[in-house]
Amino acid sequence: MDIHEYQAKEVLSNFGVTVPPGALAYSPEQAAYRARELGGDKWIVKAQVHAGGRGKAGGVKLCNSEAEIYEATENLFGKKLVTHQTGPEGKGIYRVYVEGAVPIAREIYLGFVLDRSSQRVMIVASSEGGMEIEEISAERPESIVRSTVEPAVGLQDFQAREIAFKLGIEPAMTQQMVRTLKGCYQAFSELDATMVEINPLVVTSDNRVIALDAKMTFDDNALFRHPQIAELRDKSQEDPRESRAADRGLSYVGLEGNIGCIVNGAGLAMATMDTIKLAGGEPANFLDIGGGATPERVAKAFRLVMSDSNVQAVLVNIFAGINRCDWVAEGVVQALREVEVDVPVVVRLAGTNVEEGQKILAQSGLPLIRATSLMEAAERAVGAWKNDLDQNTRVRAVK
């Protein structure tokens, strides 16, 4: 789960990370009022969306007066901000963050991520801040500093000082950098984050180390331990399909294809998507309905898959281990009678009581396409989609 910049700054400030004074606004009038509250003569107005690259996309504005703030926010509210991370559909702007400008002497990149190879938290930093880490890696690879943290002892002062020295932090500001690094690590580990990124972390002309931007991502599976973090979720920034799935306890990731997948088990779901690609199709989603493929759960999955207008065929691939194929087949039949599905549906069952399951499907009277192997199911799903596409093309041609 991602959170907004202003939320990430509030979280990190509670762990000792210094952030500039700022305030949230939901209208141009409120944004101008926030600037008066903050004081000063220069302010930054930032669109609050879950995406990087906001500055290049016009989502960050430097303003020298309240009139400029009003004009900038009026041009942002209700618009879609399109960045390299949002895709062409963009993300809606419904709130802005007004921040007092700070005198920047230099910019630093700082990130905390999970390194799967070492199974440790990896600190990635660079003296070339203000750019995306991909750009830094490509253009200034020698500037990148990497350090892994031993989980048994956490981030130690000497380790934080070493990172500060490598980044060229002045000795007088080393302690500020140590406090920032340790605060970020503490927030990362205590709140079950999967990413903390400050870009840029700035050194000001008056010798302060300040987090000018902040991003945090959290492990969805650990949110039950952190209700204060779960409350920060903004569904308006999420894929509506994924949001609906999460609310219904389903693991779903929307893709750009046209063959919907309903599968039990994450590994089998990934194998199903690969096989669809191998058969010449494109999966529309990753969907793991879990071990309990009850009729109600299957019906929820069908409703979710069919809410995607791009879906032109559905492949149901269930391996019954703990479950039984006859139970699953009853669930599929009941779901198809409850949910309007006007595209070809291919069902492949394997495992316990598969014969009984196939018999239930055959006797249902529903126009199901049955398959016995994963490859056969994928080929039939792709073939049914192409045949349906050809028929629709011919109908349009006749009209």
Q: Where are the domains of the chain?
A: 1-19+104-238, 21-101, 240-387
* 134 marked among binding-site residues: no
- pTM exceeds 0.85, yes or no: no
pLDDT digits (tens, 9 = 90+) for 244-278: 777 677 788 888 899 999 998 889 999 999 999 99
What's the CATH fold of domain 240-387? Rossmann fold (3.40.50)
Asked if 384 and 276 touch (Cβ cutoff 8 Å), the reply is no
Say what the pLDDT of residue 388 is: 65
* 258 marked among binding-site residues: no
Given 70, 109, 185, 252, the catalytic residue:
109
* 353 marked among binding-site residues: no
C-alpha to C-alpha distance for 331 and 335, rounded to whole angstroms? 6
Tell me if 1-19+104-238 shares its fold with 240-387.
Answer: no
* 99 marked among binding-site residues: yes
1-19+104-238 belongs to which homologous superfamily?
ATP-grasp fold, B domain (3.30.470.20)
* 213 marked among binding-site residues: yes
Say what the pLDDT of residue 389 is: 60
At residue 317, the 3 state secondary structure works out as strand
Given 70, 97, 128, 197, the catalytic residue:
197
Q: Would you call 33 a catalytic residue per the annotation?
A: no
Say what the pLDDT of residue 396 is: 39
- For domain 21-101, which architecture applies? 2-Layer Sandwich (3.30)
pLDDT digits (tens, 9 = 90+) for 222-240: 999 999 999 998 887 777 7
Low-confidence stretches of the chain (pLDDT beneath 50): 393-399
Instruction: Find the helix or strand (DSSP H, E) in which 23 lies.
Output: strand 22-25
C-alpha to C-alpha distance for 192 and 260, rounded to whole angstroms? 32
* 53 marked among binding-site residues: yes
Residue 104's nearest CA partner among 177, 205, 198 is 205
Say what the pLDDT of residue 237 is: 78
Rounded to a whole number of angstroms, the CA Rg of the chain reads 26
Say what the pLDDT of residue 393 is: 47
Q: Would you call 94 a catalytic residue per the annotation?
A: no
Q: To 10 degrees, the CA torsion angle through 368, 374, 380, 381?
A: 80
Which amino acid is present at 205? S
Say what the pLDDT of residue 397 is: 39
